[in-house]
Chain A
């Protein structure tokens, strides 16, 4: 059974600081996705990572994928308040359509 774990679950950080969110998954997967969810809102797609070593960047967020380690990271550079949200990774099992979502990391950036 495919399992996806994120850590930390909660993250409170100061503006201007850097931090990394980790996403581990238990079995082979074709793709890994990162989503953002603001309180009371829907999920917004951030990145899709397709292969080992893939790196995607958008603004202060950079995501990477290591399929051998079954690990993806979401790195936040010089955090700003607007990045406060819950971040989810999702993995689809090899040969399936199903997303298995991680538990989410609730990020709060303090001014």
Chain B
């Protein structure tokens, strides 16, 4: 299995631009998680999907952030407009179910100038 796939791996953009991060979970996993990692705040859960349905988006920092999962094999996290404080590594993770081990993708390193 290829594991969780994320793209792009690196993104550099200017403040105010729209950024879209993509994730393909492990086949057969029905739970998908988006995390953000920074030095200051550590690992934070942004949003969680179960069977393609957003269950909890309480970790999404503000309305500039949105996430979708149109099917079982694809999810996006969008930031519009982006700000320098959004600079972080964004991880996608998936699991067989909500109570199983989460497997993390390689992450997208985002830099907003």
Q: Is the interface of B mostly helix, strand, loop or mixed?
A: strand
Which residues of A lie under 8 Å from residue B45 when comparing CB positions? 98-99
Which range holds the interface residue count of chain B? 20 to 34
**A interface, CB within 8 angstroms of B:** 30-31, 33, 35, 41-45, 48, 88, 92, 97-99, 101, 103-104
> Would you call A43 and B42 a contact (CB within 8 A)?
no
Total contacts A to B, CB within 8 angstroms? 38
Main secondary structure of the interface of A (DSSP, over half): strand
Rounded to whole angstroms, the CA-CA distance of A35 and B56 in the bound complex is: 23
Contact flag A33-B99 (CB < 8 Å), given A97-B31, A98-B45, A104-B42: no
For window 74-113 of B, CB contacts with A under 8 Å fall at 91, 93, 98-99, 101-107
Q: Hey, what's the 0/1 contact readout for B31-49 against A, CB within 8 Å counting as 1? A: 1010000000011010010
